[in-house]
A and B are shown apart, each in its own frame.
Chain A
Amino acid sequence: MSPVNPVTPVSPVHPVSPTSPVLSVDNLSVRFRMRGGRQIAAVSDASFALAPGECLALIGESGCGKSVLASALLGLLPRNAETTGRALLGDLDLLAADERTLARTVRGRRIGLVPQSPSAHLTPVRTVRSQLEETVRELTGVPKAGLREAAEAAAERAAFPATHLDRHPHQLSGGLAQRAATALALVGDAPLLLADEPTTGLDRDLVDRTVDELRRHADTGRALLMITHDLAAARRIADRVAVMYAGRIVEIADAPAFFGAPGPRHPYARALLDALPERAFTPIPGMPPELGDLPDGCAFAPRCARASARCETLPAPVDGVACHHPEEATACSN
């Protein structure tokens, strides 16, 4: 319904046919009903599309609603959540699908989840091989005789060394545990990979290796949605970046332009990059608003140097930026 689709799926790296996005999210909102009639607007009017072979990084501060968005796509929201909008995975609306459909045909099969903490995601008392074989059997129906081979192939795809297949999770380093979890996520050969903070708590080398591997899987034609607060990781692998603030996507941009020149156009996104130690290292004044108590207008206005009276109304996204006073677009704006 909105006059301008905030998403212009044009990536210089991976040309995208607009007819066949893997995932297309349209005005997705999530509300939590709390005790005492309070409402928490965790996600508001999020819209984006994701093409095969493309990596979209959803970035934002903790508590901005980005993990809720991921949970909504997987149908893993708690009972007090209400969703509106659409999230089409092929021709299936993930928000309308019932638990049975999601459990039997979506999770693992059409969406592979790369977890936040692999060590917690793996069963501690079983070897990587047995977990892989079980997942292969469940998801692909490979006959018993072929299981061993299929599991080894799955490990191979995530660059998990075959020599370590018979180890238990606690015998693996952080990097190998992450690869084991990724191998599990890849078994169902899902067209969409969803990585929720895949690098939290890892050190820089491991972050780089983990996201590079994710990028490799995107390069084989999968769509990758990476949710992260790690801007360096996003910069390393993303084709496009979606910046979330207080439950809204305030800017969607091509990653090279966003991280390089001319830089972000939304004042929040600019300030977020300026907080990096390799840049100005200055924090954004104040704190994000409570999702249960959002202003009617732009949620960033109270912390924004450019705020004016106009900011008391909600800015509609134009060219992927939801701001009344955006940084001028480089070439042809106005």
Chain B
Amino acid sequence: MLELSRITAGYDRRAPVVREVSLTVGAGRSVGLLGPSGCGKSTLARVAALLHRPDSGTVVIDGVPVRGWRHRAPREQRTAFGVVFQQPRLAADPRMRLADLIAEPLRATGRRDEAAAAVAGLAGRVGLSRELLGRRPHEVSDGQLQRACLARALVLRPRWLICDEMTAMLDASTSAALVAAVETYRAESGAGLLAVGHDSVLLNRWCDETVHWDELPRESRSGV
């Protein structure tokens, strides 16, 4: 279970973009979170992925409460999440070849010797050729780069996937291919998914259930 309760978060404490919002994703389930751009759904996704510390509220991952975010979270907790972002250009270190990009989490966690095999396996799953793996981000298209970013998110075999507008910049075929890769991984690993987006047709087709941002449970605390 991924339980977010009464989360208030944002970039300015006086004007949080997320106010007292709760969201639960069951183990192995997939939830699509719909909402217009700028509503705060991406911030909530970042809170869930332990990348953004909320001003208040609690996050419980598989029964373990979260005590810190980003580097304050223990490594096992951080790496339980695979995150895919909207803009692959910004989500890829421009100096790394795609193969290094995908292998980076393994190297960062001291599992360097597994890198070659893992990269080869994942490249096949997301549909990247050997030749593409040797290129740098500026030498590939957005779609190809996003495939690499998805492979990077899967390389540590996370229990949870957070896809923040993963296909918003991509064409129909690449979108379908990436969603298929995510679903194949989930089917064999039992990982849960929180997919954030604004395309209701896509999320309805993709996820077990979809919720609209405006329909999320909110309790207003007295005196706030």
Contacts and interface: CB of A to CB of B under 8 A. Distances in A.
On whether A and B touch (CB less than 8 Å), the answer reads yes
Interface of A: 60-63, 173-174, 200-206, 229, 231, 271-273, 275-278, 281-284, 286-287
Interface stretch (B45-53, B100-108, B176-184): B176-184
Contacts of B206: 277
B198 interface: yes
Contacts of B169: 62, 200-201
A205 B37 CA distance: 10
A174 B176 contact: no
A283 B144 contact: no
B168 A201 contact: yes
A24 to B, nearest CB: 27
Given A62-B141, A277-B199, 14 more contacts: A61-B143, A62-B171, A174-B38, A201-B168, A201-B169, A229-B172, A272-B173, A276-B176, A277-B201, A277-B204, A281-B176, A281-B179, A283-B180, A284-B177
Given A61-B143, A62-B141, A283-B180, A204 B174 contact: no
6 contacts: A61-B143, A62-B169, A201-B169, A275-B175, A281-B205, A287-B129
Interface size class of B (residues with CB under 8 A): 20 to 34
A27 B200 CA distance: 40
The DSSP consensus for interface residues of chain B is helix
A62 B142 contact: yes
Contact of B127 (A174, A271, A278, A286): A286
B174 A283 contact: yes
A308 B205 CA distance: 34
Interface in B162-199: 168-177, 179-180, 198-199
B116 interface: no
Contacts of B143: 61-63, 287
A205 B36 contact: yes
A158 to B, nearest CB: 21
A162 B169 CA distance: 32
A316 B142 CA distance: 30
> Ordered nearest first, which 4 A-B pairs have the shortest CB separation?
A203-B198, A283-B177, A63-B141, A283-B176
Nearest to B37: A203
Contacts of A203: 36-37, 198-199
